[in-house]
A and B are shown apart, each in its own frame.
Chain A
Amino acid sequence: MSLFSQILQFLLTGITIGTIYGMVALGFNIIYNATGIINFAQGEFVMLGGMFMVWFTTVLKIPMIAAFALSVIMVTLIGALFERLAIYPLKRPSVLILIMITLAGSIIMKGSAMLFWGKETYTLPHFSGEEPFYLFGATILPQTLWILGIMFVVVIILAGFFNFTMLGKAMRACAVNPTAASLVGISVKKMVLLSFALSAALGATAGIIITPVALMEYDRGAILALKGFAAAVLGGLGNGVGAVVAGLLIGILESLGAGLISSGYKDAIALLVLLLVLFVKPSGIFGVSEASKLKEF
């Protein structure tokens, strides 16, 4: 295998993993924009998406496409329910309390998943076969194309939603200034509910499309959340484009680091870059420093 095709392979691998990190980071951002908090249960939405998909297709024998939709709906409902039960009833929420609640939520979701599905690791058939394509000596799985394609569609839909619909604009308004938003008649609490539902749906989608290549088990959420969080911070918290680009960047750095330097330092390389960027530009690559000063963190 020539060095060129090796590097191409590392890049392709990095892009695949990076796409997932980017999607998790987007989920973080949606909730961050609406509430100003980091939702530590974001990784659990990914895990639940994958687990529901496996359960629907293999146990209940529901066809792929219907199961996809059902899984996303289930996780969206769980996300909304979580907001209604744990976030909504709070009288005077502080950021710290909210974050603790999401942490508790993630532990509960993980525990329930373990009780319901057990500790086993599950797999899904690839959406369209496992025969790889060849590109200048590097290989691509059809599933990789699915992952990239679905990510692309999701990003387009999200961009359209936030820029061209009333609801999306209202959500952005809440992100900019919740008090002013409520003065013009936007129900901030509804927007918070919507943000949880939306990021749960996003997480579930990510979980469903990676399970065929990466397998899924009840405690997979935490590590995905960690990498996704790193991407969200690197891209500048709250910045959609930043999340996707930073996710891809972390994925590619990880893969190149593992391939060209040492796989033992793979995670360190990505996190080191994150630290360096934060030293130089604390608001992230795409973040605006004036805006980040206004946030609580």
Chain B
Amino acid sequence: MKKIFLLFAALAVLTALSPVSFAAEPYVVGAVFAITGPASWLGEPERNTVTMVAEEINAQGGINGHPLQIIVEDTVGEETRTVLAVNKLINKDNVLAIVGPTRSGTTMAVIPIVEKAQVSLISCASAEEIVRPVRKWVFKTAQNDSHGVLKIYDKLKEMNITRVAVISSTDGYGMEGRKQLKRFAQEYGITIVADETYGPKDTDMTAQLTKIKGTDAQALVNWSIVPGQTTVIKNRRQLGMSIPLFQSPGFGNIKYARAAGDAADGLMFPALRLLMVEALPADHPQKALLATYKKDYESRFKSDVSTFGGHAYDAIHLVIAALRAVGPDRAKIRDYIENSKNFVGTGGVFNYSADNHVGLNKDALELYTVKGGAFALVK
């Protein structure tokens, strides 16, 4: 047993060092993702992405000759596990910075720890509370939920629609979206005439939609990231509802469009540009980067690229850029990230500053629609 263990340990060390061997000390960066558990479909592509990036960087000779070592911890999407993992990374592994966590709740849980230990945390979660108010050591690469809301409201304004029905799932993502939809409604002169919810695993939403059908809503916004959102789309057609339907960025997965079938035709939703790299003009600043990431990820892991992996890609590349510029100094890394300007990532072109730790605005999103089971840009 012991021998086998030794053999494995030796193998692990060998694979970690190959193919290029370094003389210099490695730069150690921590990563905390929900690799298993209910958010694993977010955390898994994130883990895959950082491992892939580290391999690429090390194959190119590392960061200024130093290999990049990423210590990945699984949070299972739980707050307690995340706290333990982050404590371990800071105190035992002495990491220079941390990318992740995957979810908003787990991110909120570890903010006091990284603030106290003074280590930069670049979260891949979307909730606005992570960066509002701005915390000195906390950044994020995912767009805010409100960016999606603003994108939808812009379109509603263009369509002269003022009466809107909202339906959202009762998980963190749905609740946050619902809050943001209400927050900006007045500013856009929009009245929310119905505010319905559904459980993430519910099998039928006709009751809620029947209620909405009884109101004078001119458009329906369905805010959710779980597969259940496709049931809303199907039920809506079953009830013969014809008002325009808007989905959240959480719809940005082609499998959802396929699951909803032709009932999804014509709906609109905001999403990041990674969704349709081919639709971007050739001179778009993100085009080359997105195309490379998509190709590398899909050929390596044999599964569709996702924006969540993209958030991890941006986070780890921010840290790499900082390490390359300022070396292994926690405080200087933070300052470098905060002053990053025109940083081209998968999520958009990031511009961080002392009062903006998300670096993106609503223009990072494009409005898409569904046509015959495929995504298309709304012109």
Are A266 and B203 within 8 A (Cβ)? Answer: no
Chain A, range 247-297, C-beta contacts under 8 Å to B: 254-256, 258-259, 263-264, 266-267
Are A263 and B203 within 8 A (Cβ)? Answer: no
Are A259 and B208 within 8 A (Cβ)? Answer: yes
A141 to B204: give the CA distance in the assembly, Å.
12
B133 within 8 A of A: no
Are A13 and B204 within 8 A (Cβ)? Answer: yes
A6 within 8 A of B: yes
9 contacts between A and B (CB under 8 A): A6-B214, A119-B41, A121-B227, A215-B227, A217-B227, A223-B201, A263-B208, A263-B211, A266-B198
Query: Knowing that A6-B210, A213-B234 are A-B contacts, what are 16 other residue pairs whose CB atoms are under 8 Å apart, sorted by A's residue number?
Result: A9-B207, A17-B203, A20-B203, A121-B227, A123-B258, A123-B261, A130-B234, A132-B239, A139-B238, A215-B227, A217-B227, A219-B201, A254-B207, A255-B207, A258-B208, A263-B207
How far in angstroms is the closest Cβ of chain A from B69?
Answer: 29
Are A13 and B206 within 8 A (Cβ)? Answer: yes
Closest Cβ neighbor of B203 among chain A residues: A214
Q: Check A215/B231 contact, CB under 8 A, given A119-B40, A259-B211.
A: yes
Are A17 and B199 within 8 A (Cβ)? Answer: no
Are A1 and B214 within 8 A (Cβ)? Answer: yes
A10 to B235: give the CA distance in the assembly, Å.
13
Chain B contacts to A: CB under 8 angstroms: 38, 40-41, 170, 196-199, 201, 203-204, 206-208, 210-211, 213-214, 227-228, 230-231, 234, 237-240, 255, 258-259, 261, 263
Are A132 and B231 within 8 A (Cβ)? Answer: no
A261 to B355: give the CA distance in the assembly, Å.
42
Are B238 and A141 within 8 A (Cβ)? Answer: yes
Closest Cβ neighbor of A114 among chain B residues: B40
How far in angstroms is the closest Cβ of chain A from B150?
Answer: 25
Partner of A258, one of B207, B228, B231, B258: B207
Per-residue B-contact encoding for A117-143, CB less than 8 Å = 1, 0 else = 001111100000010100000110100
Q: Check A215/B259 contact, CB under 8 A, given A139-B238, A139-B240, A267-B199.
A: yes
Partner of B204, one of A17, A223, A224: A17
